[in-house]
């Protein structure tokens, strides 16, 4: 049987927190796998425990400082390569529309919805990232990370406006709502 390693990420677009990537090779089918965003938090948590017990997996995380230093694409490439070095499979499938030129990697839009291995990777990445954001909320309670998980919600932008940036914010991300308007007359 050919083994397939599914790969997905969570946290490409938020203003704060890590980018988390996961790769999964399933040993046996797992009931209920789908795109992590389609599942309740409780269901994701339960599936996470099943996946880590019944599959080969690897998780890679890049903090805000690494994202700011290297750029999001370089982090994605490094994460993909690390997963491919760590999990030996006949095929590698990444959710999305680009392979970033990495040999031996295929990509498929919405693979997290239709390919069980990618769904499992989606769940591991999202649960890992969400757990990290809940922990960061304890260190930075004024920002509400436990609610919006670092995404650019109105309340998050207001918290940045009021309290400034934390070390877990991505300084390289441009936030239009925080920019000062310029007027040329």
What pTM was computed for the model?
0.93
In a domain, 134, yes or no: yes
pLDDT of residue 1: 41
Among 118, 124, 95, 98, smallest CA distance to 4 is for 118
| 98 φ/ψ angles, rounded to the nearest 5 degrees | -145, 145
Residue 5 contacts by C-beta under 8 Å, 6 or more apart in sequence? 23, 24, 25, 83, 84, 87, 89, 91, 92, 93, 117
- Please, which residues have CB within 8 angstroms of residue 161's CB and are 6 or more apart in sequence? 178
What's residue 175's pLDDT? 80
Q: Which domain holds residue 31?
A: 4-176
**How many independent structural domains does the chain possess?**
1
Position 184 in a domain: no
CATH label of the domain that carries residue 105: 3.30.420.10
Is residue 181 in a domain?
Answer: no
> Residue 154 domain-assigned?
yes
Render pLDDT for 48-78 as a digit per residue (tens, 0 to 9). 999 999 999 999 999 999 999 999 999 999 9
CA nearest neighbour of 166 among 141, 147, 140, 131: 140
pLDDT tens sequence for the chain (185 residues): 469 999 999 999 999 999 999 999 999 999 999 999 999 999 999 999 999 999 999 999 999 999 999 999 999 999 999 999 999 999 999 999 999 999 999 999 999 999 999 999 999 999 999 999 999 999 999 999 999 999 999 999 999 999 999 999 999 988 876 776 555 55
Residue 39 lies in a domain: yes
Number of other residues whose CB lies within 10 A of the CB of residue 66: 17
Q: How far apart are CA 184 and CA 116, in angstroms?
A: 54
């Amino acid at each position: 049987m050919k083994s397939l390693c599914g790969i997905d990420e969570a946290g490409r677009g938020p203003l704060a927190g890590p980018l988390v990537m996961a790769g999964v090779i399933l040993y046996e089918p797992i009931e209920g796998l789908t795109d992590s965003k389609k599942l309740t938090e409780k269901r994701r948590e339960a599936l996470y425990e099943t996946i880590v017990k019944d599959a080969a997996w690897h998780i890679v995380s890049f903090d805000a400082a690494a994202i700011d230093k290297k750029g999001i694409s370089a982090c994605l490439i490094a994460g993909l390569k690390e997963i491919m070095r760590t999990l030996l499979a006949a095929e590698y499938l990444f959710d999305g529309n680009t392979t970033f030129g990495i040999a031996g990697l295929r990509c498929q839009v919405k693979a997290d919805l239709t390919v069980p291995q990618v769904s499992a990777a989606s769940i591991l990445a999202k649960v890992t990232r969400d757990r990290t954001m809940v922990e960061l909320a304890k260190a930075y309670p004024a920002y509400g990370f436990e609610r919006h998980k670092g995404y650019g919600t109105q309340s998050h932008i207001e918290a940045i406006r009021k309290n400034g940036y934390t070390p877990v914010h991505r300084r390289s991300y441009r936030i239009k709502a925080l920019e000062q308007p310029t007027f040329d007359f």
